[in-house]
Homo-oligomer: A and B are copies of this chain.
Amino acid sequence: MTDLLNSDLDLSEFETDLAGLALSPDAQDLLFRDAHTAYAFTDEPVTDDQVKAVYDLVKWAPTAMNSQPLRVVLVRTPEARRRLVQHMGGNNQARVAGAPLVAILAADVDFHDELHKTFSVVPVAREMIVGEDAARERSARFSAALQAAYFLVGVRAAGLGAGPMTGFDAAGVDAEFFPHGDHKTLMVVNIGRTAGDGQRPRLPRLDFDEVVETA
């Protein structure tokens, strides 16, 4: 395959790596192989500019109907952090209390009200789903989950560590931060510069043959 991005690489290293990928081995390491879930961080703050750089990169990745239902709350004040910590489960309370930045990732089930901007190519899209509350929530949860994954990749693209968590009282977080009921919290993510002892040993992954079949 054409491999424009790796023209200055040591090919022997590349060929013993993941043959066939156009993404450079350094980038593969940064985003996937060297990046582990982060459990401890340095004191270095995470700025809004850094989060904006992450968002402005990953916003281009695809969602169903270009719906982009992900909504993010950056927990900055001590008061907001206390309000979040109380809904976290077990060990996640201390993790949220101690991270440089904590982000709440939620799905906006009223994403159809943005479709006139995001999906104007199909003007009837909003009318087709406005009354379908259950289907719309399913779609919002699905596409926002895709975007949550893109966001985690983006945090790693910024050279930062991400500690994604699903162990919390989602209804409690929703009531606390989204009292209008139109947002469903999917994930809470600690973000920061990973500390030297901030990673755990890698857990096993399923093999290709356990996951992929051919029909």
Q: What is A's interface to B at a CB cutoff of 8 Å? A: 1-3, 5, 8, 18-24, 26-28, 30-33, 35, 37, 47-62, 64, 66, 68, 70-77, 80, 83, 114, 117-121, 139, 141-142, 145-150, 152-153, 156-159, 162, 164, 166, 177, 186, 202-206, 208, 210-215
Identify 24 residue pairs between A and B in the complex whose beta-carbon atoms are under 8 Å apart, listed by A's number. A5-B27, A18-B53, A18-B57, A19-B49, A21-B53, A21-B57, A22-B157, A23-B31, A24-B24, A24-B26, A35-B60, A35-B61, A55-B212, A62-B152, A62-B162, A62-B164, A64-B166, A73-B214, A74-B213, A75-B215, A76-B215, A121-B203, A141-B142, A146-B146
* Residues in chain B near residue A55, CB distance under 8 A: 208, 211-212
Q: Are B215 and A74 in contact (CB under 8 A)?
A: yes
Distance between Cα atoms of A159 and B57 in the complex (Å): 18
Nearest residue, chain B, Cβ from A70: B211
Compute how far the CA of A158 lies from the CA of B58 in the bound complex, rounded to whole angstroms: 18
The answer to whether B164 touches A48, judged by C-beta atoms less than 8 angstroms apart, is: no
Residues of B within 8 A of A73 (CB): 212-215
Q: In the complex, what's the smallest C-beta–C-beta distance from A23 to chain B, in angstroms?
A: 4
Residues in B neighbouring A157, C-beta threshold 8 A: 21-23, 27-28
CB distance from A193 to the nearest CB of B (A): 8
* Complex Cα gap A204–B115 (Å): 10
